[in-house]
Amino acid sequence: MNATTLAKTAYSAPGQPTRTARGNEYELFARITHRLKAAMALGEAGFSTLARALHENRRLWTTLAADVADPGNQLPAPLRARIFYLAEFTSQHTRKVLAGSSGAEVLVDINTAIMRGLRQGGEAA
């Protein structure tokens, strides 16, 4: 568990059930994915909303990339490599979406796949 996760859980409501790190990751992915979908539904009029959601998504993936690049990360090396690759892809594709040359659907698909893996409790990425 890293400092960010500890900080988030330290100030959570005391009546809330204790969440696992996996549960926290799932909730973060779900929140950002929901924002991406909502922004996409606004069409061209929601470009600024989409840009904010894309920024949040890129921050999430940048954090994940840094985490799996840490030598102390205990995930299996092949999984760490796949997560790092997805972070790179997400960053590159986000630039294309912001430039208007691509859509954000694939980013939603990636996040949804990660959420499925987190929900199933497996180490699939």
Q: List, for residues 105-124, the tens digit of each pLDDT value.
A: 999 999 999 999 988 865 44
Average pLDDT across the chain, whole number: 87
Answer whether residue 4 is part of any domain: no
The answer to whether 43 and 25 are in contact (CB under 8 A) is: no
Answer whether residue 15 is part of any domain: no
Q: Write down the pLDDT at residue 124.
A: 43
Answer whether residue 81 is part of any domain: yes
Segment 60-98, tens digit of pLDDT: 999 999 999 999 999 999 999 999 999 999 999 999 999
Listed residue (76, 111, 69) closest to 90, CA to CA: 111
Q: How many domains does the chain have?
A: 1
Could you give the percent of the chain with pLDDT greater than 70?
81
Flag whether pLDDT at 30 surpasses 60: yes
How far is CA 10 from its chain centroid? Answer: 21
Query: How many whole angstroms separate alpha carbon 73 and alpha carbon 64?
Result: 11
Answer whether residue 5 is part of any domain: no
pTM: 0.79
pLDDT band at residue 22, thresholds of 50, 70 and 90? confident
Q: Which domain holds residue 44?
A: 20-120
Query: How many whole angstroms separate alpha carbon 104 and alpha carbon 54?
Result: 8
